């Protein structure tokens, strides 16, 4: 009998995982976040783990990257870059989609992007954003990657905000609500320097790892910034380990350890902030029209989907007669849904320096928020 485990994204997208080993299921849970729940409907996405996919002669696009065999499209590397075989029917994403995965894969590449395509097809917009409630108001913060969204969320956590979502937030134009996932937040060491109270909420192991990495990153930075002479071999080593060391100077923390109030699974959208870096040391803000947010964030969403779009080009190369209406029509669909979801909602653009002064940024945003809810409010 098949082992079946379900995941449900707020009733928007259902995922069913069949015959996964415990390690494989753990990897899927890390990808999807804490949304495991029994479905009362047919799943939108089925992920079936198998011992072996049918052996066949493969036509390759790239060496060890993707392939076609007997009309099926295969990924030949998992998320960690290890060899595996995954059957991925890109022509069906956005509709009912079944992915077959050989045992041993560490997760399913592009799974969040595929789930987002299913949400989009159901009239719900996945937006790269952070969301929280503060004094009874639902706040949506969006922008380009590394633009300050998570910093705003962290800053408002210490002001009593309730977490809704980080990284991906799902907007339903029909209800005017936004939905999130209580998945771990990545907190960087430089953010902890500005918000030292969060250091006390780290585990001993997390604190120890950051303490061990800081001196290494400081030495690498000193070599890079002061022009200390070093041989070519040393320069090559620093170029290789520097980015990796900096990427590890962060911890993944469950929002429940950061927010004193319980997470809110959804919230009404009462105000929208587009945050972005600029070269000035000042923080400035001004109202922004919905159409400008729509055009700018449509491009951001395309950027966030580039890895899946690159995969689709290989798919079209190998299977020129197959198409994905969902992928090809995504930008128009996203533009329309975003405009519908945000129409009439107060919106502002906030520019700030990087690294962002978190509390100063939050002071500016708090000054622009609608008045707190009163009992007379609907």
- Does residue 378 fall inside a structural domain? no
pLDDT above 70: residue 238: no
Whether 108 and 20 map to the same domain: the answer is yes
CA–CA gap between residue 336 and residue 322 (Å, rounded): 26
15 and 72, same domain (yes or no): yes
User: What is the model's pLDDT at position 246?
Assistant: 79
Are 19 and 136 in a shared domain?
Answer: no
Please check whether residue 153 lies inside any domain of the structure: yes
**Segment 218-228 mean pLDDT:** 69
In this prediction, residue 378 carries a pLDDT of 42
Same domain, 28 and 94: yes
Q: What is the CA radius of gyration of the chain?
A: 22
DSSP summary character for residue 337: H
DSSP three-state, residue 16: strand
What pLDDT is stored for residue 363 in this prediction? 97
Which helix (DSSP H) or strand (DSSP E) does residue 274 occupy?
Answer: strand 271-277
Counting the structural domains of the chain, the total is 3
pLDDT, tens only, 24-65: 999 999 999 999 999 999 999 999 999 999 878 899 998 889
Statement to judge: residues 339 and 267 lie in one domain:
yes
What value does the mean pLDDT take over residues 337-355?
97
Question: Rounded to two decimals, what is the model's pTM?
Answer: 0.92
134, 81: one domain: no
**Local confidence band at 183 (pLDDT 50, 70, 90 cut-offs):** confident
């Amino acid at each position: 009998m098949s082992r079946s485990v379900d995941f449900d994204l707020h009733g928007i997208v259902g995922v069913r995982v069949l015959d996964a080993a415990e390690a494989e299921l753990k990897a899927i849970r890390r990808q999807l976040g804490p949304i495991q729940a029994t479905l009362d409907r047919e799943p939108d996405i089925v992920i079936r783990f198998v011992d072996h996919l049918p052996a066949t002669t493969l036509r390759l696009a790239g060496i060890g990257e993707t392939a076609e065999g007997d009309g099926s499209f295969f990924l030949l590397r998992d998320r960690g870059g290890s060899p595996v075989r995954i059957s991925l029917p890109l022509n069906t994403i956005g509709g009912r989609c079944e992915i077959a995965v050989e045992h041993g894969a560490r997760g399913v590449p592009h799974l969040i992007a595929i789930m987002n395509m299913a949400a989009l097809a159901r009239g719900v917009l996945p937006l790269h954003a952070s969301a929280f409630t503060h004094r009874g108001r639902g706040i949506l913060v969006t922008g380009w990657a590394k633009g300050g969204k998570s910093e705003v969320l962290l800053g408002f956590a210490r002001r009593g905000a309730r977490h809704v979502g980080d990284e991906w937030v799902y907007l339903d134009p029909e209800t005017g609500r936004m939905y999130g996932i209580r998945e771990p937040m990545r907190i960087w060491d430089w953010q902890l320097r500005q918000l030292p109270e969060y250091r006390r909420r780290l585990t001993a192991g997390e604190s120890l790892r950051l303490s061990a990495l800081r001196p290494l990153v400081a030495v690498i930075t000193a070599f890079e910034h002061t022009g200390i002479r070093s041989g070519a071999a040393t320069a090559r080593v620093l170029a290789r380990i520097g980015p990796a060391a900096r990427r590890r100077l962060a911890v993944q923390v469950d929002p429940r350890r950061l927010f004193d109030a319980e997470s809110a699974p959804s919230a009404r959208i009462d105000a929208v902030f587009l945050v972005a870096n600029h070269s000035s040391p000042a923080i400035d803000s001004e109202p922004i029209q919905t159409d400008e947010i729509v055009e700018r964030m449509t491009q951001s969403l395309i950027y966030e989907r580039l890895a899946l779009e690159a995969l689709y080009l290989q798919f079209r190369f190998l299977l020129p007669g197959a198409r994905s209406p969902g992928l090809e029509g995504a930008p128009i669909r996203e533009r329309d849904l975003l405009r519908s979801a945000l129409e009439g909602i107060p919106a502002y653009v906030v520019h700030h320096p990087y690294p962002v002064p978190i509390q100063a940024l939050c002071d500016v945003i708090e000054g622009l928020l609608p008045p707190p809810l009163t009992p007379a409010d609907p």
